[in-house]
Amino acid sequence: MKKYLVIAAICAGVCAWVYWAGGRVATQKCDTRIAEIRADQQSTNLEILRTVHEKTVNTGVRDIRRILHEKYTIAD
């Protein structure tokens, strides 16, 4: 009788470990999927930002200084 209890306990332990390991794998897959979705969303947002603010993105520091200098002078 003791032999059957030991075998049953081992089987229960193996089943519990497999259940836990499967949960960890599922969590890792979910985390990976979420990271990919966030990266895609960020790429999409950057593309939208570039198309909307193309002049701002492509304007260098010298251009900004020149525009501000033309708009605002000391006399104003």
Residue 48: left (phi > 0), alpha (psi -120 to 50), or beta?
A: alpha
What tens digit of pLDDT does each residue of 47-68 get? 888 777 776 666 677 777 888 8
What tens digit of pLDDT does each residue of 25-35 get? 999 999 999 99
Q: What is the mean pLDDT of the chain?
A: 86
Its pTM stands at: 0.54
Q: Please give the angle made by the CA atoms of 33, 41 and 58, to the nearest 5 degrees.
A: 145
Whether 12 shows a pLDDT value over 90: the answer reads yes
In the chain, % of residues over pLDDT 70: 89
